[in-house]
Structure 1
Amino acid sequence: MPTASAEELRLRRELAAVYRLVAHFRMTDLIFTHISIRLPGPEHHFLINPYGLLFEEITASNLVKIDLSGHPVEPERSPHPVNPAGFVIHSAIHAARPDARCVLHTHTKAGCAVAAQEDGLLPLNQISLEFYGRLGYHSYEGVALNLAEQRRLVADLGGHPAMILRNHGLLTVGETPAQAFLRMYYLDKACEIQTNAMAGGAKLVLPDPEVCELTARQLTGEEHGSDLQDDQAYDLAWSALLRLLDRIAPGYRD
């Protein structure tokens, strides 16, 4: 990739790593859904997956650079098409949230199940409490092809790190690919725990709201005045995940 800057190459490898991890943890929907990252600079360029490849096939070099409309800006560098329609959600959030450099969207079984439940994500366990009071909800309006929906998507996400798209799936954002992935990993796990707990048929126990809010502040670092969950624990977890990829799928860096 001789024409890519060092910073772009680093981001390509980080984003390719997220695609491979989403595949490894079985959070994919064949070739559908997207993970995008905004590149530095005033051009408003992004990296996204080539349409038609499985996430386990994504590499740093085959990611496609697109503009805010979802169209390739360097078509001569990639033989792969992109799916502009799938970028409607991503482009709206990228444009509205400077901190949302990476946007990750999934259609997992557990995520779609909770997205279909009226009460959304319940504060059932410590994992779900990271998102207590910090999770947006967006009502289903059909396949996200209507540009008019973008304003409502952005309003429903607000300043939250994650959102449940009702009757659709999950979405997380992050300043880095690592942050967006780890938020998705735990949001999806929280949904899986909820569906398993509800399937058991027993009466559910919910912590007091005061305990829920305290735990959320602890997990997000607000209780300590710094974002410990992201700055320390997330960094350690991300390093461990990269070591995993280097063992099982080192080709993501190519």
Structure 2
Amino acid sequence: MAPLKVLVGVKRVIDFAVKVRVAPGGHKVQDQGVKHSLNPFCEIALEEAVRLRERGQANEVIAASVGTRQSQDALRTALAVGADRAVLVEVPEGAEPPGPRQVALALAKLVERERPLLVMLGKQAIDDDCNQTGQILAAILDWPQGTFLSQLDLDPGSGSGSGSGSIRIQREVDGGLERLRLRLPALLTADLRLNQPRYATLPNIMKAKKKPLELLPLEKLLGGPPPASRLRVLRLEEPPVRQGAQRVESVAELVERLAAAGRL
């Protein structure tokens, strides 16, 4: 089976362990001075792509991100985990953060340039939870897509040429598991059960500094200004503080308290 090229989209987000606070004004979260990291679902997609290369089924893994120059940190982490090179589609500081549609348009241009047979993304980012970029990108490319991926197997002969070969996937749906066969090129979005991502070791972090990381302005890639976002954040609010539980000694006391609180 001839190897193939894999493009993995990744995103820099506030670390999952950080308690997010709403910034003054209520229009964005407080992201200055807090820890950022690779989006967990992007880590899973990247891990699967690196495993394909380690098995000899892929010959190159490219990590790509759309964001400000600070996103280089996330791409360096991707390189340390095992990506061969990285591309940052740079958004100017202070510009409106790109939404799913703008990110998908930028990644579609990268796909035209890089010609991968497989594009992998996390199913969603933990900062906005949109779960849209992969689906929009597949529609732009007119590629078959497999979302919420929990298992991936390449068929023999996959990757031998543009548009050749196929993959077998298992995806998680509301009713259980669904198994599909997709022709390449294809787009996949990773779910939690696909794999367990590895940690970037210190030697690999040092090696990642020598791997190529290309900076590509968004307007240059698109050939002009990106389209305006169709989403507008009206206001962000922190969820109400959860009240502590109360212990009752009997069912009668429980009913009495619920009635007093107007719950019955």
* TM bracket, shorter-chain basis: under 0.3
TM-score normalised to structure 2 length: 0.23
More helix by share: 1
Whichever structure has more strand as a proportion of its residues is: 2
TM-score (norm: length of structure 1): 0.24
Larger RCO, structure (CA 8 Å, separation 6 or more): 2
| Structure label with greater radius of gyration | 2
